[in-house]
Amino acid sequence: MLEELASSSSSLIKENIENPATKDYWVKQCLDLVAAKNASDVKIERLKQRNAELELENRQIRESKVRMQVRVEQEEEYISNMLLKRIQKLKTDKEQLALKYEQEEEFLINDLMRKLTQLEGERDELASRLSKDQSWMVANLLQKIRKLEAEIQSNHKSLEQLRREKVDLENSLEHEQEALFNTLGKRMDSLEAEKRRMQTRLDELEATSNNTTTTTTTNTSAAASADATTSSNENPVEKAN
């Protein structure tokens, strides 16, 4: 029975195909399907090309990110080394200046003590000769004492000035060190902001690439579904029956 039904269907299909009106219909259907397929192929090819471009751009962004990270690390290391060298130099300069002031202060004190000892010796000598020329010796001694007092006062002022300069220099060194630390902190914040911006850009491009891949898959499925729908449309043979 199935053979008879198949034979009957084949006969009907053959008769309808040989019919000119039916033949034109099928030719038109075939041309429409071919045109739809070609359009789908072109669209799919464009989407594939766009996907390849996005993948290339994504790869370039990743490589740029790696280079940026390397450059940031190198710059951070350079800044750290430079700051450490600067701090070490400031520390060395501070120690040298402190040593210099201590040496100068010690020299001035020793010089004053030597002069004071010398004057005390002269005073004792003058005292022994006081009986011979008391008036002249007293006047001369007073003059030398005044001169010594003036010199001591002057040296005392010099010592005070040196101490003030030492304090000012130490404060200046501390301020400069603090400024260097602040500059480094600002530079590190700027680099971190640039790093976050590059990461955001990379995430956006990855999301765009994923969306494009999903769109390509969806369009391919839609084209296949359209082909199946067109093939299942009712034909003139079934209408004639």
Q: Is the pLDDT of residue 189 over 80?
A: yes
Query: 210 or 189: whose pLDDT is higher?
Result: 189
Q: Determine how many CB atoms are found less than 10 A away from the CB of residue 16.
A: 20
Its pTM stands at 0.29
Query: 182 or 232: whose pLDDT is higher?
Result: 182
Instruction: Please state the domain extents for the chain.
Output: 2-231
**Confidence band for 229, pLDDT divided at 50, 70 and 90:** low
d(CA 108, CA 106): 5
Q: Is the pLDDT of residue 222 over 70?
A: no
Instruction: Name the DSSP class of 1.
Output: -
Mean pLDDT, rounded, for 166-194: 83
Cα dist from 90 to 94, 96, 97, 134, whole Å = 6, 10, 10, 59
- What confidence tens digit (pLDDT) does each residue in 33-89 have? 888 888 888 999 899 898 989 989 888 888 888 888 888 888 888 988 998 998 999
**Confidence band for 10, pLDDT divided at 50, 70 and 90:** low
Q: What is the DSSP string of 129-165?
A: TTTTSHHHHHHHHHHHHHHHHHHHHHHHHHHHHHHHH
Mean pLDDT, rounded, for 161-183: 83
Cα dist from 178 to 11, 76, 173, 188, 240, whole Å = 100, 18, 9, 15, 97
The count of residues in the chain is 241
For the chain, what is the mean pLDDT? 78
Q: Determine how many CB atoms are found less than 10 A away from the CB of residue 149.
A: 10
Q: Determine how many CB atoms are found less than 10 A away from the CB of residue 151.
A: 14
